[in-house]
Chain A
Amino acid sequence: MARLKLFIPLIIFALLGAVFYSMLSRDYNPQDLPSALIGQALPEFSLPALEGDKKLSKKDLIGEPMLLNVWATWCISCRVEHPYLNTLKQQGIKIVGLDYKDDREKALQWLEKLGNPYTFTIYDETGKLGLDLGVYGAPETYIIDAKGMIRDKHVGVINETVWQEKLQPLFQQLQSEMN
């Protein structure tokens, strides 16, 4: 018994090691926050478009599956993500932008300089829609189905891996649901 006691620290160490190792090797991001809005309808809103002076509302986001991409010029990761969004647009994916707590002039310059992957962009100066969507940092991308329901959300940069492994399968499913 006394002999066995000597091994207790070793056993504890082995157990902790196993736990930590399993967390390391798993694709675990503590920043990931499961969205409370998945499976819910988009919130109602009435906000100006970034370009032109059209008023936009929830109705403009209904009809076909699309990505709703939350971005801002102060967001460095958004700049990293931007070229890939342009690529997605070329592949025929409908992306709507949500310019979140930003400066209109800077945002327009950004689109001019880096290309505009968005069908249109909602200009959310105060972050009101962002708050209703549960945005907690940009970039965030919501997958919206044809009925205007939020089906999934990706926090962080979209790149080829994320698109192919996580978002594209769902997006294609939504497109086939529509037909």
Chain B
Amino acid sequence: MFKRLVLNIFTFCTLLFLAVQVNAVIETYEFSAAEYKLRYQTMVHELRCPKCQNQNLSGSNSPIAKDLRRELHRMIEEGQGDDEIIAFMVKRYGNFVLYRPPVDKYTLWLWGSPIILLMLALLFVFFLRRSQPDVDALTPLTVDEKNTLDRLLRKYSK
């Protein structure tokens, strides 16, 4: 029963991960190097559209996202580094544009909460185990009980 539940949760989570990033945009850009294209595609997924609540540049068709994609393409083709491009975006739109914001006093909870949740989960498991009776301390089966158990197991395991 428990195992089945865990398995179900696991399957559900896996499906959730498969479900993201099904969006794409219409326009295509030409790149002079394959590495540029790769960088463009990575950044377009990690930069957030300022106008939208929760879409990256790749997923949004708003004019501002279009402009930012054009700028991103221009800067990559000019040979600017990722750090420069991110600084350019942050200077104009703040850390809002980053789906991977730096750790500061505003994002401390964001970055810290997985650790806190993990701690809570560990504590929960710890207390759950403690409140369950110790298996070794149970009275062992008598010979009679053991024989009956063996017989039943043989009977039903076929």
Report chain A residues within 8 Å CB of B93. Answer: 33, 36, 134, 136
Assembled-state Cα–Cα distance A133/B93 (Å): 9
Chain B, Cβ-Cβ closest to A33: B96
A31 touches B64 (CB 8 A): no
Given the known inter-chain contacts A30-B53, A31-B53, A131-B71, please indicate yes or no for A136 contacting B64, CB distance below 8 A. yes
**Interface residues of A, dominant DSSP:** loop
Q: How far is the CA of A37 from the CA of B96 in the complex (A)?
A: 13
- Assess the A33–B94 pair: CB atoms within 8 A: yes
Q: How many residues belonging to A are interface residues under a CB distance threshold of 8 Å?
A: 16
Q: Given the interface contacts A35-B94, A127-B67, does A136 sit within 8 Å of B51 by beta carbon?
A: yes
Interface residues, chain B, CB within 8 Å of chain A?
Answer: 50-51, 53, 63-64, 67-68, 71, 90-94, 96
Further contacts, 20 of them, CB under 8 A, given A36-B92, A101-B63, A136-B50: A31-B53, A33-B50, A33-B94, A33-B96, A34-B96, A35-B94, A36-B90, A36-B94, A37-B91, A37-B92, A131-B67, A131-B68, A131-B92, A133-B92, A134-B50, A134-B92, A134-B93, A134-B94, A135-B64, A136-B51
5 inter-chain pairs at a CB distance below 8 angstroms, sorted by A residue, are A33-B94, A36-B91, A131-B67, A131-B71, A131-B92
